[in-house]
Amino acid sequence: MYKGDISNEIPMRVLVTTDLFIDTQISDVKEKKLFKTKITRKTHAQVRADLLSRLWLYNDRTPYTLECVSYTFDAEQMIKLEEQLDVAGTNPFRYFTSYSSMDQLIKTLPYRPEVLGVIDKPDRLLRYGHWGMDMTRL
């Protein structure tokens, strides 16, 4: 901030992984034809509204912005997720980013001074170092 100009200020961010608030279930479906059986995998994703509500309240009470990050979705699927959350009216996120792997995100964290932490599942928090946060810390 220089002489009252706030345009240079970077808003502090908290990154939230999609694995935290989206439950994915993979099921095998057997299709029997005359002489052949074909097994196909179907994935069913369910958005957990209780966690989104908690993230919405956290975003409303604090000056931090939330960024949704994913290792399993690509950029097109993240756009669809953003549209789904907007239509439902439960979108606490301002930014959506997809990474090819968790290691790619971890390598960029030291170069992002605006990131306060990463909210993820408890079994993966140690990989983020001091940036690791869980839902109990909100």
Residue 113 lies in a domain: yes
Which of the listed ranges 26-40, 101-115, 123-137 does the model predict with the highest average pLDDT?
Answer: 101-115
Q: Which two tokens stand for residue 95?
A: 């930014």
Number of domains the chain contains: 1
The model's confidence at residue 132, banded by pLDDT at 50, 70 and 90, is very high
Which pLDDT value is given to residue 117?
A: 93
Average pLDDT score over residue span 66-81: 90
Indicate which CATH number applies to the domain containing 49.
Answer: 3.40.50
* Cα 23 from chain centroid (whole Å): 12
Print the domain residue range for 41: 13-137
Residue 2 lies in a domain: no
Which pLDDT value is given to residue 1?
A: 54
Residue 56 lies in a domain: yes
Higher-scoring residue by pLDDT: 13, 24: 13
Residue 1 lies in a domain: no
Of the candidates 49, 55, 57, which has an alpha carbon nearest to the alpha carbon of residue 14?
55
Q: Say yes or no to pLDDT of 25 above 70.
A: yes
Contact 72, 20 (CB under 8 A): no
Residue 101 lies in a domain: yes
Q: Say yes or no to pLDDT of 101 above 70.
A: yes
Which pLDDT value is given to residue 5?
A: 63
Which pLDDT value is given to residue 3?
A: 64
DSSP the chain: -BTTB-TTPPPPEEEEEHHHHEEEEEEEEEEE-SS-EEEEEEEEEEE-HHHHHHHHHHHHHSS-EEEEEESSS-HHHHHHHHHHHHHHT---EEEEEE-S-HHHHHHHGGG-TTEEEEE--GGGGGGGGGGEE-GGG-
**Burial classification of residue 127, based on how many CB atoms lie within 10 Å of its CB (0-12 exposed, 13-18 middle, 19 or more buried):** middle
Q: Which two tokens stand for residue 9?
A: 């200020």
The model's confidence at residue 4, banded by pLDDT at 50, 70 and 90, is low
